[in-house]
Amino acid sequence: MDAFSIGTYLWTTFGAFLTLCIFSFLYRDNPFYKFAEHLVVGVSAGYFVIILWHNGLQPNLFNRLNDGDFYLLWLNSARPWYLIPGILGVMMWTRFSRKKSWISRYPIAMYMGIAAGIAVPLEMKNRVNVQLYSAMKNVEWNNFFGTGILDSGSAVAQLIILIGTLSALFYFFFSKEHSGLFKGVARFGIWILMIGFGASFGYTVMGRISLFVQRIQYVGNWTETSWAHPSVLVIWFLIVGVFALLLLLEFIKFLTKRRTAAS
């Protein structure tokens, strides 16, 4: 193997090691899991800072003020009003000061207000209006069965969606006692809700299982690569030895704690 291949193999080995560290939490909380967890959090935070700088601050603030001069604090720029969000961002850093932390409340309040004002119409449009429009589309009675009895484009599916939506809404109508026909409709709405929750949960589990299978395949490919190249078996056995030594030290530490607690 050349130097580049060895370097790639070392990074692959490190990835397999981190995978095993995460799986070690199935035994109990331990330093291996904490190391992998802290590494993920640290790398994610660093990556987010770089993305925020290149996709946020640089194009939306500094590039819009680059026609001004730094020694004049960009006041001679053609668009000096872009200094206002920059000042608000600097004010947020006062959160780390006990005496000046009250200053950060103003930009945070403004940010929360603007974010809520943008998010509410989008949520209403995407999660309420579009859903209501889809549920209340006209049922195509002339082509009731479509190309199949349960065809997704047929009127049967549209009718089921309409009845299911109304039944689920009836369940949350508490101004009238759930009795008689109203009780039956509300109970059908519960079934619709449970089907929706079950489908969402199953979809989530399938996604997690696919991630687990991918990790197992990753470790399996790394093992095959290790045995296929005898020149890297030394690295493989060294890593396994270090891992076994750390496990042994953890086990000795655990026994020491038990003896101390028993005494």
Domain boundaries, the chain: 136-218
What is the rounded distance in angstroms from the CA atom of residue 92 to the CA atom of residue 90?
5
pTM of full prediction above 0.85: no
Give the count of alpha carbons within 13 A of 133, CB side only: 7
Average per-residue pLDDT for the chain? 82
Give pLDDT tens digits for 200-219: 999 999 999 998 999 889 88
> What is the predicted pLDDT for the residue at 142?
60
User: Taking the mean position of all CA atoms in its chain, how far away is CA 260?
Assistant: 42
| Nearest alpha-carbon partner for 13 in 233, 182, 208 | 233
> What is the predicted pLDDT for the residue at 2?
45
* 167 and 188 Cβ atoms separated by less than 8 Å: yes
pLDDT at residue 3 tops 60: no
What is the rounded distance in angstroms from the CA atom of residue 29 to the CA atom of residue 133?
49
* 160 and 196 Cβ atoms separated by less than 8 Å: no
Instruction: Tell me the Cα Rg of the chain.
Output: 30
> What is the predicted pLDDT for the residue at 1?
43
> What is the predicted pLDDT for the residue at 104?
92
* 85 and 61 Cβ atoms separated by less than 8 Å: yes
Give pLDDT tens digits for 130-181: 877 777 766 665 655 555 555 555 666 777 778 888 888 888 888 778 788 8
What is the rounded distance in angstroms from the CA atom of residue 41 to the CA atom of residue 43?
6
Confidence of residue 42 (pLDDT cuts 50, 70, 90): very high
Instruction: Return the structure tokens found at 209.
Output: 């299982």
Instruction: Return the structure tokens found at 140.
Output: 């195509």
